[in-house]
């Protein structure tokens, strides 16, 4: 960082024979100045600009560095969308219960980390033995070893020069988390947690894999110690309470039958999608994937084909939420749920199991192209 020095100007030689003011002159000047009452200066005060009033930021408030064997982090409201840095930490429990612009994690070893929603990217570099919960727009690692990540990522996660990477679907709750997702501009339905891109693959080796489907997040990243400053934050790792729906992702499906169920924009679209997930789960069906995207009239015609005419007007109201559900008999079950549970709600449901696979492919291929995946 640059330093500024003030240079005292030397008087020129021609100035040496200038007379020093006499005592009388000084007194006169003093008398003249003192005759003007303080505060009566007619000059306008300097203008105040927004950057003059901006609160000073202490970089230390947005960094955790050089820590060992401690539980640390940030409470809700402490970051408010700022950038954050975690570096050189060892055997720490780190809880960031707030949304951020970007987060970088460098040179950390044997740490358990929870990161609130990140509007941009999260970047792990030169880290080892990390267990973490992450929600972000972009996820990337470089030169990392042995990481277990419960992830919600709006784009395709990328690993580079990294080994022993394991991924599971985000499953986490704390009271402010839904607001933090909204503040970070993330949708809980856009989660590509299992669609990993290995930037530096090695022939004959696999640098990443998926965690067992039965994995529980609190077995990897426990709740804060009761003696820590975060003891009052109510945390749940129960998949049924998770802000992000628990999806099967890229794991092999147990049934060849899938169903596309789409909610069109309305006041209760998110709540309706959650209710559907509960309804189908109670019947033993599986949620494979979800997406929330905007559509244009030409998209509707390409995706919904024969049903397009009656749906075109609905896409002008906002993004749609789509779900792929799987299991034997799932199409008939979803059509029944649509009639009984959502009779006044505009939805699309696959008509039969012969066309349902095409419906699923048409929609999610479009959604992936729309999101650049």
Residues in binding site for GTP: 120-121, 137-140
DSSP state of 49: P
Could you give the residue ranges of the DSSP H alpha helices within the chain? 23-34, 50-53, 177-183, 217-220, 269-282, 297-304, 330-341, 353-370
Shortest CA distance to 117 belongs to which of 172, 170, 181, 63? 181
Asked if 373 and 287 count as a contact pair (C-beta separation under 8 A), the reply is no
Beta strand residue intervals within the chain, DSSP E: 63-65, 71-74, 84-87, 93-96, 103-106, 109-115, 118-125, 128-142, 145-153, 158-160, 163-169, 197-198, 208-210, 258-263, 286-293, 320-326, 347-349
Asked if 243 and 190 count as a contact pair (C-beta separation under 8 A), the reply is no
Burial of 302 (C-beta count, 10 Å sphere; 0-12/13-18/19+): middle
For tokens 């990328």, the residue is: 158
DSSP state of 318: S
Residues annotated in a binding site: 120-121, 137-140
Query: Residue 151: helix, strand or coil by DSSP?
Result: strand
| Whole-number Å distance between alpha carbons of 194 and 168 | 7
For tokens 């607001």, the residue is: 179
| Beta-bridge mates of residue 325 | 259, 287
Asked if 208 and 159 count as a contact pair (C-beta separation under 8 A), the reply is yes
Give Dmax (Cα) for the chain: 108
| Whole-number Å distance between alpha carbons of 121 and 71 | 24
| Whole-number Å distance between alpha carbons of 272 and 285 | 17
Asked if 88 and 107 count as a contact pair (C-beta separation under 8 A), the reply is yes
Write out the two tokens for 215. Answer: 């994995």
């Amino acid at each position: 960082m640059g330093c500024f020095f003030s240079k005292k100007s030397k008087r020129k030689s021609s100035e040496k024979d200038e007379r020093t003011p006499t005592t009388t002159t000084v007194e006169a000047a003093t008398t003249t100045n003192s005759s003007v009452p303080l505060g009566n200066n007619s000059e306008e005060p300097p203008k105040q600009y927004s950057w003059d009033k901006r609160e000073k930021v202490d970089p230390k408030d947005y960094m955790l560095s050089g820590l060992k064997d401690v539980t640390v982090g940030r409470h809700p409201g402490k970051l408010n969308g700022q950038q954050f840095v975690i570096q050189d930490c060892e055997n720490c429990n780190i809880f960031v219960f707030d949304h951020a612009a970007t987060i970088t994690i460098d040179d950390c070893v044997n740490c358990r980390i929870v990161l609130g929603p990140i509007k941009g990217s999260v970047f792990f570099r030169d880290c080892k033995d990390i267990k973490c919960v992450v929600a972000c727009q972009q996820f990337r690692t470089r030169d990392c070893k042995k990481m277990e990540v419960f992830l919600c990522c709006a784009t395709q996660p990328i690993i580079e020069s990294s080994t022993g990477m394991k991924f599971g679907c985000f499953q986490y709750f704390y009271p402010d988390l839904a607001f933090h997702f909204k503040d970070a501009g993330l949708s809980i339905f856009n989660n590509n947690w299992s669609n990993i891109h290995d930037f530096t693959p090695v022939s004959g080796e696999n640098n990443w894999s998926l965690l067992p489907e039965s994995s529980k997040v609190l077995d990897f990243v426990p709740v804060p110690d009761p003696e820590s400053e975060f003891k009052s934050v109510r945390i749940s790792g129960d998949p049924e309470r998770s802000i992000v729906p628990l999806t099967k992702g890229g794991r092999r499906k147990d049934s060849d039958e899938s169903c596309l169920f789409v909610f069109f924009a309305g006041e209760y679209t998110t709540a309706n999608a959650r209710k559907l997930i509960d309804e189908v789960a109670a019947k033993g069906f599986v949620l494979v994937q979800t997406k929330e995207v905007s559509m244009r009239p030409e998209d509707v015609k390409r995706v919904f084909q024969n049903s397009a005419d009656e749906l075109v007007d609905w896409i002008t109201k906002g993004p749609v939420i789509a779900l792929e559900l799987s299991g034997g008999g799932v199409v008939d079950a979803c059509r029944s749920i649509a009639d009984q549970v959502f009779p006044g709600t505009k939805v699309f449901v696959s008509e039969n199991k012969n066309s349902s696979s095409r419906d699923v492919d048409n929609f999610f291929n479009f959604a992936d192209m729309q999101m650049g995946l």
